[in-house]
Structure 1
């Protein structure tokens, strides 16, 4: 994917500047949501598919309250989607943004040159 960054110049309209600012706000919220190690690890586990809260607790070696708190933040930011099956709650990635971000992070920090 080849994405061009916005170029700021003197003749940008107020509408164009507002659009850039709105996208910056959304990107900032996304980055804040993934900036916690626990939330980042949850997203890593969900890349391979849907997991129950209990599965995530085991995978993260974390208490239910801590996992639920992090899942709540990820849900609030629209990064994960819950599904209830009886008493169990399962989570999956809401869309492809977390996967793309994790691929970029992996490339930056775990690639051949890292």
Structure 2
């Protein structure tokens, strides 16, 4: 496990700026997943690519609501779209959302 950064009084401005940059990226990521609809979309995409229509059915949500949440996830670089004719499919952009979901599951869903 990686050690957490420690803010020190004698830290160089460059070191501090690196930590601040990482904190800004982490904050944007957490904001992107802070909506239950977006979190549920990511949960569904862990098992593989899904069309917008499939996500609507899985979430029991309207197309406009699903599209709005997918737009935010796409903007944050968490999902990637693929068009096939009139259908648009989404998948996780990388392994970061999967790792985050595993952590959330461990914190909130594991009854051990």
> 1:112 Cα deviation (Å)?
2.5
Render the CA deviation track for 1:28-49: whole Å, top value 9, x for unaligned: 0000000000000000000000
Determine whether 1:26 maps to 2:25. yes
CA distance in structure 2 between the partners assigned to 1:25 and 1:10 by the alignment: 20
SS state of the match for residue 83, structure 1? strand
SS state of the match for residue 6, structure 1? coil
Q: Report the number of matched residues.
A: 112
Q: TM-score by structure 1 length? A: 0.96
> 1:8 Cα deviation (Å)?
1.3
Q: CA RMSD in A?
A: 0.6
Residue 47 (structure 1) aligns with: 46
Residue 78 (structure 2) aligns with: 79
SS state of the match for residue 11, structure 1? coil
